[in-house]
Amino acid sequence: MRRTLSIGGALLVAVALSAGCGGGQDDAATLTIWQTYNDEEYPVFKEIVESFKVAHPDITIDVIRLPFAGAEPKIQTALTTRTEPDIARVDVSFLAKLAGKNALLDLGPYVSSEFRDEILPVALSSCYYEDTLWGLPDQTNGLCLFYNREHFRAAGLDPERPPATWDELISYGKKLTNRDEGVFGIGLSNSLWWTLPFFYTHGAQFLSDDGTRCVLNSPEGVAAFQLKVDLHQRYSIEGGAWRAGGIVHDLGFQNGRYSMILNGPWAVESLKRTGIDFGVGLIPAGPAGTATNVGGNNLVVFRNTGQPELASEFLRFVASEETQRMWASRLGQIPVNVKASDAITSKEHPYLAVFVEQMKTAIPRPQVMGYPEIENLMNPEMQAALDGTKSVEAALNSAAAEIDKLLAGD
Amino acid sequence: MVRTRAAVLRRTLLYTGLTVAAIVVLFPFFWMVVTAFKEPGQAFSQEIFPSDPTLENFRRVLTDYGFARYFVNSVVVASSAALFATFFATMAGYVFAKKEFVGKDKVFGFLLASLMIPGMMYVVPQFAIINWLGWMNSYKAMIIPHLANVFGLFLMRQYMMTIPSELLEAAKIDGAGEWQVFRTIMVPLSIPIIATLFLLTFQFHWNNFLWQLIVTNVERLYTVPVGLAMFKSAHEELYTLKMAGSCISVLPIAALFFFAQRYFIEGMTMGALKG
């Protein structure tokens, strides 16, 4: 994996060098799109493409499907030989990398400020890198609290009332945990992204305002992570889902080992199919209220495209109110266009309405090129604190010091 | 043979330990196979064997999710690549083991040195050439770049050097041509290592994910690993189908291993052989 990363880096340098030469295809009537939609999304996306073609009857649009896992190296390789598509759908963390290495088209001239105002601010902010707009979101998500209503009833808790604060979560957790049967109140993943709701609800920031230092080891950050550690060590209501070889959180939720987990909107449809009676609530509030993290995917246009106008028009079309309304109601996803949010009523989409509400207090993660590397530095330190080999403060301090070095070297 | 008590005890302990280890190693495979036969909702049920085994999962991945097509692609690509790569490596191994020509050692050293470069480094230049040739989205692109196999050449050469040159000389005295010597003496005597190399290259090409993904843009050319990766990211929760897909991807390798275990194991120790 590390090897793949460093080679990816080398490839991107090559892109940066070649990107200056300009050029591109002359084929004026073809747009190629590389995307990673799943089987439910793919047919809907094709419909969107068809309706875009209604206004542009002369053009051809090639939609190519890639597995999510291999999309990054494939795009990087294509960039070195200028065989990249016009448009690609990329993860939010990959956008910064592509933008930083000068592979993308600056969308500034193509997206009006009126249109930007229509886009959910947290989703739009993931498309910026160094104050320039490099993409438009097609999908956004964040974590919420999933809970098993059956377990709630059995423990004498109100199945319509998920814990509103972390303190409440602890007292619920004590009632839900049954160690003899291997059932725990909550199961939590370790990685930084999955821990961000803890940090954000405590008001801890990720990077300093100038983006040069990691400040997760602030008193707020320490308190936030101490809570996560305490859920496992002190209150014994967390089942060790973060452990290597432990039951991962979504699996444990499915087979009734964990009564509560954090998860995103993508899990709703599949959980419904398993027949579990579950509810979704906001992330429990900490000293700074409720808050969540932001993930998702963005559409980007590559700078070597022959049709910057057409390609960016397609991006605007996908993020438009009309398309997003259709997309959200058909697939149960959070609309990236705020004007389409009213399509999500809590009557028709009880789960999704919670996510739409939660996204109002979502905090975007800072766009830095080395986000995956930051995760790599952070995760083992957090793991050490969780299993008790390091104190929370020591773990966060050494992680922050390493991340500072990484940021300085960028 | 008189067995002492201690020897019996040692044996019992050894076999117990090995049995436990085998169970630990095989359990995931066992789970994969069993889950592939379960009803979708039963993936995490307590029962070990499905009470109502079904082939529905296999039918769905093969037809609805296109694995039949991916499987054919994988078979075509892996077997033809393995076949040709083994053939070329055998011929080249013969030349480097038994022939003399100017700069032979230097050329061989140069080729060996290329083994030091991680395979990932070749991806971009190879892709650039494929693209320049206009071979994108073709079986050619998926097979041809990997036909020259230095590791295979090395393996063949080391093995062939142990075949006595006297045999070749005797054949030549009897009037055998170069091709005849190769075909009637070198190949039959090298069958174990040829089989080993075929299996290793087949396995490599069967599992190759990144290259096949990079040179193809159309689903009809995707191979099993690419299809499986696409399926995995699209359906996090469909465990029974995922396991059926995984079974299909493991099947040929497991079958090959079952019938040709000996050669796999020889392949592992062959490197230790002194040339």
Pair A136, A149 in one domain: no
Q: What is the pLDDT of residue A4?
A: 44
Query: CB A69 to CB B232 under 8 A?
Result: yes
Pair A252, A227 in one domain: yes
Q: Give the residue on A whose Cα is nearest the Cα of B225.
A: A67
Q: What is the pLDDT of residue A16?
A: 41
Which residues of A, range 264-283, sit inside 8 Å of B by Cβ?
266-267, 270-271, 273-275
Choose the mutation target among B31, B35, B39, B44 for the interface with A, i.e. most A CBs under 10 Å: B44
Query: CB B226 to CB A77 under 8 A?
Result: no
Task: Tell whether A221 is covered by a domain.
Answer: yes
Considering only CB atoms, B120 lies closest to which of A3, A66, A270, namely A3
**pLDDT at B237 > cutoff 80:** no
Instruction: Give the number of domains in chain A.
Output: 2
Tell me phi and psi for residue A407, to 5 degrees: -65, -40
- Cα(B44)–Cα(A254) distance, rounded to whole angstroms? 8
Pair A161, A33 in one domain: no
In angstroms, the separation between the Cα of residue A340 and the nearest Cα of chain B is: 25
Query: CB B131 to CB A68 under 8 A?
Result: no
Q: What is the pLDDT of residue A81?
A: 83
Pair A136, A163 in one domain: no
Task: Tell whether A273 is covered by a domain.
Answer: yes
Q: What is the pLDDT of residue B234?
A: 66
- Domain holding B207, by residue range, is 69-270
CA atoms within 13 A on the CB side of A57: 0
Task: Tell whether A2 is covered by a domain.
Answer: no
Q: What is the pLDDT along chain A (410 residues), one digit of tens a residue?
A: 344 444 444 444 444 444 333 334 444 579 999 998 887 788 899 999 999 999 898 899 999 988 887 888 899 989 988 889 999 999 888 898 899 889 999 999 999 999 999 999 889 988 998 889 999 998 898 999 999 999 999 999 999 999 999 999 999 999 999 988 889 999 999 889 999 999 999 999 888 888 788 999 999 999 999 999 999 999 999 998 888 778 888 888 988 899 999 999 888 877 887 888 999 999 999 999 999 998 888 999 999 998 999 999 999 999 999 999 988 888 878 899 988 887 788 888 889 899 999 998 999 887 777 788 888 899 999 999 999 999 999 999 999 999 998 888 75
Cβ-based contacts of B213 with chain A (< 8 Å): 66-67, 70, 73-74
In angstroms, the separation between the Cα of residue A11 and the nearest Cα of chain B is: 8
In angstroms, the separation between the Cα of residue B211 and the nearest Cα of chain A is: 9
Pair A321, A173 in one domain: no
pTM of the model: 0.76
Q: pLDDT tens digit string along B42-83?
A: 766 667 777 778 888 899 888 888 899 999 999 999 999 999
Q: What is the CATH number of the domain that holds A341?
A: 3.40.190.10
Considering only CB atoms, A11 lies closest to which of B124, B219, B234, namely B124
Instruction: Give the number of domains in chain B.
Output: 1
Task: Tell whether B266 is covered by a domain.
Answer: yes
Task: Tell whether A1 is covered by a domain.
Answer: no
Angle at A38 between CA A36 and CA A42, to 5 degrees: 85
In angstroms, the separation between the Cα of residue B259 and the nearest Cα of chain A is: 33
Does A17 touch chain B if contact means CB atoms closer than 8 Å? Answer: no
Pair A105, A188 in one domain: no
In angstroms, the separation between the Cα of residue B134 and the nearest Cα of chain A is: 11
Does A138 touch chain B if contact means CB atoms closer than 8 Å? Answer: no
In angstroms, the separation between the Cα of residue B13 and the nearest Cα of chain A is: 28
Domain closes at, from A318, A335, A359 = A359
Query: CB A70 to CB B229 under 8 A?
Result: yes
Pair A284, A320 in one domain: no
Cβ-based contacts of B44 with chain A (< 8 Å): 251, 254-255
Task: Tell whether A153 is covered by a domain.
Answer: yes
Cβ-based contacts of B129 with chain A (< 8 Å): none
Q: What is the pLDDT of residue B41?
A: 66
Task: Tell whether A119 is covered by a domain.
Answer: yes
Pair A88, A235 in one domain: no
- Domain holding A396, by residue range, is 144-293+370-409
Q: What is the CATH number of the domain that holds B82?
A: 1.10.3720.10
Report chain B residues touching chain A, CB-CB < 8 A: 41, 44, 118, 120-121, 123-124, 127-128, 131, 136, 209-210, 213-214, 217-219, 226, 229-238
Task: Tell whether A259 is covered by a domain.
Answer: yes
